[in-house]
Amino acid sequence: MIESSSTLGEELLPEPFCTMRRQLVELIDQKTRFGSANIHTKGAVRETASFNLESVYGLRSDVQVHKISGNFRETPHTRAASNPTASAQQDGAARLRLASQDLSLALGRQDIAWDSLRSGAFSLADLRFWTLAKCSPCSGAGSRTCSQCTGYGRTLCGTCRGTTQMKCDNYQCLNGRATCWRCHGNGQVLEVVSRPYTDSNGYTQYRYENEYQRCPEYGCFGGRIQCTRCLGRSLVSCTTCSAMGKVRCAPCFGEGSIKCGSCAATGRSGSLAWADVSLAVEHKLSYPQASPKELATIDKIEGGIEGLAKIARISSPTSVGGHDGDRDAERNTLRTFEVDLFRLTVECDGIPFEIVTYGPQGRWLSTGGVVEHLLNHDLSNIETALVDARRQGWLSRDRATLRDALIKVLASEINIVALTSTHRAGGATPESVAISEDYINRLENATSNAFHLLEVRQAKDLSWRICIATLIAVVLGWSIWGAIEAGAIGIMSISAGEMIRGFFARREMRLIADDAVVNAGVRKRGAVKSTQLLSTGVVVTPALLILVALLYILPSDHPWDGREAEPTSVEDLEGGE
């Protein structure tokens, strides 16, 4: 619907165009260094953009079957049936038909919210069907006789096979005899014995000797002795069955019978079945053929269906198909989402720009590039200055043009925000749509290069002064003290020069912008280090070359002091003797 066209008196603009214009003017007046004086309203158009919401409502009847035993208790919600599964299926089909009617009814209501029906249970079973019969695995007994012990609960001991006796469990024992503890199985022990002998004088004397003797332990023959465990019988009472000959049966835990798992020992088993009806809802957004190009962007900004639903006028659902079956049913509906688009055309420098907002809150979609058009004056200016600067060659030291261009660019707050913030502002405000990514990239490159060039050019400007200062300092130092001192003075002079360069560089940057902007502008291109290195090089290298040259040229002996000093010292020496 076209409200008006051609040139408009500003005060005649209807809402929300009046607000749009005011916000744009405020943005330009407050956030840029340009005025909004030459912005003229040319036209205002209200347009309705529509989305389609296709919804699929799927109903399903799912039969669930559970095993039951004789422990099952009836309730008012259960009913005996010969075939519970078939009954549940029948019940499910009947309830699906009802659910399908309910769904149709709900979707036919004019006031139904687009998201009031959600996926989940739609109609839970009110009646469950059951059957119980004699348990077949146990033939209704609830348990069966243990096959291991045939109902006795005890089985033959596996260790002694019922004899109650087992082989002696002393590991040294062999046929009732074990290794002797005294001779360790040798049969002999070493003993000290004294033997008498008669010496040459006829006296009887004793001599001590080590000698192997038969093991004195009672019963030890050849190192083997009667086993103390079995007392020589080589058999002991069975420890497994405590000499009973039988043990408790493992499978039946001594019960003699095993409980039936199928019927939980009740002797009866069967099944319980019911059918639940559930609903699955799916929504899909689509744009009609003739929809405005902005729809996809609005969809993205608002974050899909949920977001769009908050700003759109939503129609009642129209049925566009469906089907009914025994197990499932489906309803397809179509709704339209209508969003207002407001297009305001303004003219700036004779060029028309289309400003677009949408929705009841008047969220911004585009400023049509009018802000960028204004800001571009300054950006183009700095880009041209950079091209010129490169053309001027390496020896040029002019900084005024670049500095002025930079100051102009940074006089617009919107540029500073773009440089210093790491992410773009969202929220569909006029600021967030005022400038494009492309513009921001150009801005970053241009400011970064300009800052870089400024610092390096300033370093060039200082370089020759520092060279001369170093020259004078070294020659003076040499003439007063000597060559080594002169070298030290030269190094000091160069360091001081580099410090002075850093100081001036910071002062120059502060003339243009504050530290945050400078750092951000340079950081964006990762050029901080390279700029500093290059500038330092420009200052230090020539001065260092001059120092080296001077130290090479100037003699290391003192030119006029040395000759007079030497004899003096010799005389002093002689005088001392």
Q: Name, in order, each residue with C-beta under 8 angstroms of 252's C-beta and a sequence gap of 6 or more.
A: 146, 148, 149, 153, 258
Residue 232 Cβ vs Zn ion, minimum distance, rounded to whole Å:
7
445 phi, psi to nearest 5 deg: -60, -50
Q: Which residues bind Zn ion (CB under 5 A)?
A: 135, 138, 146, 148-149, 157, 159-160, 168, 170, 173, 180, 182-183, 215, 217, 220, 227, 229-230, 238, 240-241, 249, 252, 260, 262-263
Comparison of 45 and 156: residue with beta carbon closer to Zn ion: 156
- Phi/psi class of residue 406: alpha, beta or left (left: φ > 0; alpha: ψ in -120 to 50)? alpha
Residue 208 Cβ vs Zn ion, minimum distance, rounded to whole Å:
24
Q: Letter for the amino acid at 74?
A: E
Comparison of 178 and 329: residue with beta carbon closer to Zn ion: 178
Residue 83 Cβ vs Zn ion, minimum distance, rounded to whole Å:
21
Residue 66 Cβ vs Zn ion, minimum distance, rounded to whole Å:
17
**Alpha-carbon gap, residue 175 to 184, rounded angstroms:** 18
**Alpha-carbon gap, residue 104 to 102, rounded angstroms:** 5
Comparison of 236 and 540: residue with beta carbon closer to Zn ion: 236
DSSP state of 251: T
Residue 214 Cβ vs Zn ion, minimum distance, rounded to whole Å:
9
Comparison of 27 and 180: residue with beta carbon closer to Zn ion: 180
Comparison of 58 and 185: residue with beta carbon closer to Zn ion: 185
Q: Which residues of 470-494 are buried (b: 16+ CB within 10 A; e: fewer)?
A: bbebbeebbeeebbeebbebbeebb
Query: How far, CA to CA in Å, does 66 sit from each of 69, 128, 133, 272, 293?
Result: 10, 11, 15, 5, 56
Nearest to 324 by CA among 558, 13, 123, 104: 104
Residue 75 Cβ vs Zn ion, minimum distance, rounded to whole Å:
24
363 has which bridge partners?
A: 358
Comparison of 220 and 435: residue with beta carbon closer to Zn ion: 220
Comparison of 69 and 100: residue with beta carbon closer to Zn ion: 69
Residue 84 Cβ vs Zn ion, minimum distance, rounded to whole Å:
19
Written as six digits, the tokens of 345 are 């055309």
Question: Biggest alpha carbon distance in the chain?
Answer: 162
Comparison of 28 and 183: residue with beta carbon closer to Zn ion: 183
Q: Are 46 and 1 in contact (CB under 8 A)?
A: yes
Residue 256 Cβ vs Zn ion, minimum distance, rounded to whole Å:
6
Residue 237 Cβ vs Zn ion, minimum distance, rounded to whole Å:
8
Q: Are 346 and 410 in contact (CB under 8 A)?
A: no
> Could you write out the DSSP letters of every residue in 195-238?
EEEE-TTS-EEEEEEEEEEE--STT-BTTEEE-TTTTTSSEEE-
Q: Name, in order, each residue with C-beta under 8 angstroms of 454's C-beta and a sequence gap of 6 or more.
A: 399, 402, 403, 406, 508, 509, 512
Beta strands in 405-519 (DSSP E): none
Comparison of 235 and 314: residue with beta carbon closer to Zn ion: 235
Comparison of 90 and 186: residue with beta carbon closer to Zn ion: 186
Q: Name, in order, each residue with C-beta under 8 angstroms of 183's C-beta and a sequence gap of 6 or more.
A: 189, 215, 217, 220, 223
Residue 72 Cβ vs Zn ion, minimum distance, rounded to whole Å:
14
Comparison of 159 and 291: residue with beta carbon closer to Zn ion: 159
Tell me whether strands 128-134 and 78-80 are parallel, antiparallel or unpaired: parallel
Query: How far, CA to CA in Å, does 491 sit from each of 124, 341, 480, 515, 542?
Result: 91, 70, 17, 30, 12
Residue 91 Cβ vs Zn ion, minimum distance, rounded to whole Å:
29
Comparison of 48 and 175: residue with beta carbon closer to Zn ion: 175
Place of tokens 């005649």: 12
Written as six digits, the tokens of 245 are 């000959």
Residue 67 Cβ vs Zn ion, minimum distance, rounded to whole Å:
12
